[in-house]
A and B are shown apart, each in its own frame.
Chain A
């Protein structure tokens, strides 16, 4: 395979059978359309390229900025495509919730504009949805934008009508599957694929999956939000069902651990939703049927999402010398000095003063002669052992004397014989009128 451009590698993804031993359906062959293998990482590469391509020549001529309301895969694909053509990409979002994607966008050189959150006091003049707000902004600017408009652009649907859908039919030897299950974001993929499949077999059952109302599954809409989508037409779907974030993660775990498929949450949700929907049907069947679902993107971008929801999946062995293991009894036994005593101790240059506060706070005002090791870094150092010799007397300083007492207790336990904490912390020091300096 030799290509002139990465965009030539978009599409033609494999259709892979899911092992019956995993899904447990007896009469249904279940296949996954592996959209995660697209070059920029997702199904949305197809839509992004199809929507942007016809406008690029003109945009390059004028130096337009590519803009889209997206906090995920569409933004990612458009940012790459814009970059390939020397254009800037701006992502407008309601809330950029997945940190990895945000960081990737920034790495790609994208600008990210967050729209304001909901007003606490009701403001009757604030009647617009994010999309309308973005339209207003584009209208206010005097041009200079290539807006791909994924929620309304038919080219989004066409990418799948002419690409994803026919590929599935070809790989099933010219037959459409009996069931097609897909998550709904812009509805572009499900609408396009459904239309292509129905050209071959009008009887195809299409199931659209949306997120449970109070759940967040990155990339797709909730049951209410889906009605805001311009491309969404309820008649496309024989059924619209909801999946929870838990379903999505359960499915994701099955795909990544057992199916060699490094799927993101919507791939997992589509798998879980498909098996749930098909299980009831499977029990009644007497002949073989075929079902296809879409794996939209890859797992790597969702580590923080998974860590937040399933911390137990990331369980690591406890680290040694951890502050959390210090008991209250140990803290009570830690040596403390009050402000007057500390002033004397410092004046006589009896040892090292370590200020555990943030660098900014330290730089603004601190005790003369102290060194700054912010607590996070201090904790990190202690995992490795004592960062100073046992014969080096130490005075620890923090805001109110609590953290420093805990660290003093920890250092004592680690075998340091001469460590103490400033009682009441730097706030007591300030309140006593003792000297604070800045350099």
Chain B
């Protein structure tokens, strides 16, 4: 039985995929790989997050984590919604400003150099500060350049809990929640330069209990602010809401069980060179941990936010959403991956299909593992075969997907991928739902191979239309019928 991991495909994405002639034309004209962005979908995703805010009666901002995709179309489309944007570099900030985001809708996060800080301060965007040093540097900048007060958030980490001790992975980022008074001392000292508007965290975990501890930790820090007479009104809980990549949870369960068996040698390998995705066999037992994104995540995106807000705060014993509201705090979120759910795909061209002597079938694609970074991000999800002509030999086939770099390691994914029908040279493989981190996050020009172009595909007047990503603006120029 083929071990499929079929992607979850929403109606919009499906309707784009159904345009096979258009897909083939685009690929022929613009090359492989080709990133296809569906900018309009992102507005629906913003609305889905917004509806959770409304259900909890919470105000606050949805900041798109720009790092998830370099696309201009997405950022410009978002500028036309009520969302904000989270920028993590100088260039992302410039991009956001140029796309139409006003400074009150921009949050600057991550490690920052002086130029980045300066542009934040001059334009008046909110700075989510990672360290006391960053706050001090910002205050100096503001003072030296006689700039208006800059709105700042203090990003905290290392939250502690009582009773059960929840250990969190150590983070490179954020200031110690235990030392919040030091942070506030500095902010009070530079009251003319820094305007504290809230507390922030971003935890790289899917675990709700850790986030609950962190959120309650922020409430504690804000309490300290109020004691001192400061009046910040918001909590930013970062991103990490997740995406449910797979259509069918039982496929995921079947696959991971089979992988365990393969690692133990109880069935034929499912991966190139017996790779175990973090699992290994030791004396007949499985060791290690499955180092994969949990591709089947029924509670993800807006539903995950909802679940978090319904979670009871460990100390105050009230749902976190209710506590935020009780305290009149705005809630900010910074979803990247979750906001780009169903927002794009990567089209790749099949260069060769061959059967090896050992029985393996190889499909060589005109792209590399950096162009569709499923493997790097641990997302196991099948591509969709777009046949040019009628289906070749019917029936499923298990194949290895090779990339176009002359590197032994350049497999698009190290697992054997089961396709419902055998592709032929010239056919396309569409890696769907890859807009968040899986499209261009780590694309490089190694070997002078080009980085894939991007197009925006949008509905206008009942039809699909497209343009280069950098040409897309939410005001569509109607193409008059000939």
Contacts and interface: CB of A to CB of B under 8 A. Distances in A.
Interface stretch (B17-25, B26-34, B201-209, B447-455): B201-209
A124 B292 CA distance: 9
A1 interface: no
Interface string B77-106: 000000000000000000000000000000
B322 interface: yes
A362 B284 CA distance: 59
Given A114-B166, A364-B226, A399-B328, A119 B205 contact: yes
A112 B169 contact: no
A402 B322 CA distance: 12
A372 B278 CA distance: 53
Contacts of B294: 118
A346 interface: no
B369 to A, nearest CB: 14
Given A358-B316, A360-B316, A402-B57, A227 B206 contact: no
Interface stretch (B43-51, B115-123, B252-260): B252-260
Contacts of B242: 120
Interface in B251-288: 253, 256-257, 260, 264, 278, 284-288
Nearest to B298: A214
Given A111-B165, A358-B318, A400-B325, A117 B207 contact: yes
Interface residues of B, number: 54
Contact of B169 (A106, A119, A130, A224): A119
Interface string A350-381: 00000001101110110000000010100000
Contact of A120 (B59, B205, B322): B205
Contacts of B286: 227-228
Contacts of A259: none
A116 interface: yes
A122 B378 contact: yes
A232 interface: yes
Interface in B364-420: 376-378
A340 interface: no
A399 B326 contact: yes
A360 B329 CA distance: 13
A126 B169 contact: yes
Interface in B276-322: 278, 284-289, 291-294, 316, 318, 322
A228 B257 CA distance: 13
A399 B57 contact: yes
A430 B327 CA distance: 11
Pick the most buried of A106, A112, A362, A399: most chain B CB atoms within 10 A of its CB.
A399
Given A224-B260, A399-B57, A118 B287 contact: no
A132 B287 contact: yes
A113 B209 CA distance: 13
B11 interface: no
Contacts of B326: 357-358, 360-362, 399
Given A116-B205, A120-B205, A364 B169 contact: no
B134 interface: no
Contacts of A402: 57
A118 B206 contact: yes
B328 A127 contact: no
Nearest to A231: B285
A112 B206 CA distance: 20
A116 B210 contact: yes
B263 to A, nearest CB: 9
Nearest to A125: B291
Nearest to B318: A358
B285 A227 contact: yes
A278 interface: no
Contact of A427 (B207, B328, B337): B328
22 contacts: A113-B165, A114-B164, A116-B167, A117-B207, A120-B205, A120-B242, A120-B337, A127-B288, A127-B291, A130-B289, A214-B253, A224-B256, A224-B260, A228-B286, A358-B318, A358-B326, A360-B219, A360-B326, A364-B226, A365-B327, A376-B318, A399-B328
Closest 9 CB pairs of A and B: A117-B207, A361-B326, A357-B326, A122-B378, A399-B325, A120-B240, A361-B327, A227-B286, A112-B164
Given A114-B166, A232-B285, 13 more contacts: A115-B167, A116-B167, A116-B169, A117-B207, A119-B205, A120-B204, A120-B205, A120-B337, A127-B278, A130-B289, A358-B318, A360-B223, A376-B318
